Amino acid sequence: MRVGVIGGGIVGLAIGAELLRRGADVTVYDPAPDGTDGAWHVAAGMLAPGGESVFEFPQLERLLEASNQLWPEFAAALGDVGYDDAGTLGVALTADDVAEMAREWKHQKLSPLTGSQLRDLSPALSPRIRAGAYSPTERQVDPRRVVNALRGVLDGRFVQAEVGAVAALPEDRIVVAAGCGTAGLTGLPIRPVKGQVLRLRGEPGLLRHVIDGAADGRHVYLVPRADGEVVVGATQEERTDRHPTAGGVHDLLRAALDLVPGLAEHELTEVTVGHRPGTPDNAPIIGHFRDNVYVAAGHHRNGVLLTPITARLVADLVLTGTADPIIDDFTPGRFGCA
Ligand SMILES: Cc1cc2nc3c(=O)[nH]c(=O)nc-3n(C[C@H](O)[C@H](O)[C@H](O)COP(=O)(O)OP(=O)(O)OC[C@H]3O[C@@H](n4cnc5c(N)ncnc54)[C@H](O)[C@@H]3O)c2cc1C
């Protein structure tokens, strides 16, 4: 069977690779030669099934957790993609921050930790931090390395082109996985949600865990890579422009340094802006769209985490016509467009 995948971001590539593995003849269409237009290029790569999203759309929690369980095997098949299971320390600076963060910790049934218990686990944390919690199941991966590895799997199967209309493609089945570009191709309600992210670099080893914290009402996460890079994210703005702003960078740096003062010595190496593909309920759209067309888009804040399960569900659907019923809450039809 010939399958065309529109979009060579992390979701489209993973679907393409899974279809190829199961014997389909796959072509991936994407206009960006180096593929840096996608949200994946900016994303920190937190694999955090317990975040805010589960309060917005409760059915999403099961999908996030199911995908989280697939990550160790998915990463191992791709080689070294920075998959790291040291876990996440949730931390809070002020009493108000504790009240805000405690909602997530309680939902995840995590035991509260004092400031000194947190510093035993991660000595670089500020002595001003009041409380926190350790989540062993919230891990991280490097999305840039994942995309590189997937591009290797699909070598020779790319067409460098922006697809203007789904009907123009010759394949038997078409999967639209074009992130924010999916709206223009399908009419589905997917909107860009701007996020600014910083990358710092210093001596490796300052942090071992992902830090997910609140500092004086500013929410920030710090994702340390083995090579000394620390990804600091992210703003969340209902905007379509691609400009970093003084206020956005200031808020991220201030919160990061409030939580981990030693980051002040790090070099600021990158300021990037990306757009999360958001939907009206902030849950992804995965399923049959119409005729020979399938959609996998709108993954918003969790597209990296949801990549393995999306690839598996879409490959099942395209090749066999059915998939695990977990997909039923995420169909395009819930927006009345299919
Ligand atoms: C600031 C920020 C931080 C994030 N942090 C995390 C995180 O820590 N963990 C997590 O799980 N997720 C995170 N995300 C979300 C995640 O990056 C996205 O959900 C994910 O990248 C969506 O993958 P995608 O392949 O659908 O879209 P994208 O990664 O955006 O890729 C879409 C691709 O489609 C191509 N395309 C668009 N239109 C067309 C067309 N007409 N024809 C052909 N190709 C087209 C584009 O060129 C692009 O390559 C973050 C996102 C942002 C912006």
Q: What is the CATH number of the domain that holds 173?
A: 3.50.50.60
Residues 71 and 198 in one domain: no
Task: Estimate to the nearest angstrom the gap between the alpha carbon of 24 and the chain centroid.
Answer: 26
Is pLDDT at 20 greater than 80 in this prediction? Answer: yes
Residues 51 and 64 in one domain: yes
Residues 16 and 34 in one domain: yes
Whole-angstrom Cα distance, residue 120 to residue 21?
45
Is pTM beyond 0.75 here?
yes
Residues 225 and 322 in one domain: no
Task: Please name the residues in contact with 77: beta carbons below 8 A apart, sequence gap of 6 or more.
Answer: none
Residues 131 and 274 in one domain: yes
Residues 93 and 73 in one domain: no
The pLDDT value recorded for residue 56 is 73
As for how many domains the chain has, the answer is 2
CA of 132 to the centre of ligand 1 (A): 30
Residues with CB under 6 A from ligand 1: 6-12, 29-32, 35, 37-40, 42-46, 162-163, 177-179, 181, 185, 195, 197, 233-234, 274-277, 297, 299-305
Is pLDDT at 338 greater than 60 in this prediction? Answer: no
Contact (CB, 8 A) for 253 and 232 = yes
Residues 147 and 288 in one domain: yes
Residues 153 and 98 in one domain: no
Residues 206 and 128 in one domain: yes
Task: Estimate to the nearest angstrom the gap between the alpha carbon of 128 and the chain centroid.
Answer: 30
Task: Estimate to the nearest angstrom the gap between the alpha carbon of 171 and the chain centroid.
Answer: 29
Residues 210 and 162 in one domain: no
How do residues 105-117 score in pLDDT, each as one tens digit? 998 899 999 999 9
The pLDDT value recorded for residue 228 is 97
Whole-angstrom Cα distance, residue 200 to residue 232?
8
The pLDDT value recorded for residue 50 is 78
Is pLDDT at 35 greater than 80 in this prediction? Answer: no
Residues 182 and 211 in one domain: no
The pLDDT value recorded for residue 337 is 63
Of 145, 148, 110, nearest to 131 by C-alpha is: 110
Residues 180 and 239 in one domain: no
Domain encompassing residue 219: 88-135+192-278
Whole-angstrom Cα distance, residue 279 to residue 306?
15
